[in-house]
Amino acid sequence: MSSILIPAIGLIALTFVVGLIHSIASTDLMRKTKLWEKSGIPIEPYKDSPLYLKLMKNNITNLFEFPIIFYFFIILIISLDISNIFLISCAWVYLTLRIIHSIIHIMYRNTLLRGAVWIFSQTALFLMFVGIVTQVLIN
């Protein structure tokens, strides 16, 4: 059961890492350009932000969208005690693809590749759903 937690902890760590990188980049931008020194940070700072900062912010947002379902699945798997190699494998594939997605989103900006990785990650998430439903129906 605890091995299913490791991919979830990994995804949480990824979210913290992307958040930290975003915070450092934002602070660096404010320090270097003094963009918002007099008026303070505006309510919507990202419309005037450089593209790299917008991409980081978008990636953080992405890490709070479908991964919520992943976290729910992990809790469900643990609560129902239905962990198996298929579900653990799907969780690891999902984590790996989300890491790759974040790297592409932030560093390479290749929308087609990022989209393909996203679709495969969603497939892993859907397969987790199918695995959970199957386990629930069998038990």
Q: Domains along the chain? A: 2-138 (1.20.120)
| Residue type present at position 91 | A
- Under the banding of pLDDT at 50, 70 and 90, the label for residue 41 is low
Q: What is the pLDDT of residues 54-93, one digit of tens each?
A: 888 889 999 999 999 999 999 999 999 999 999 999 999 9
* Residue written as token pair 């915070």: 23
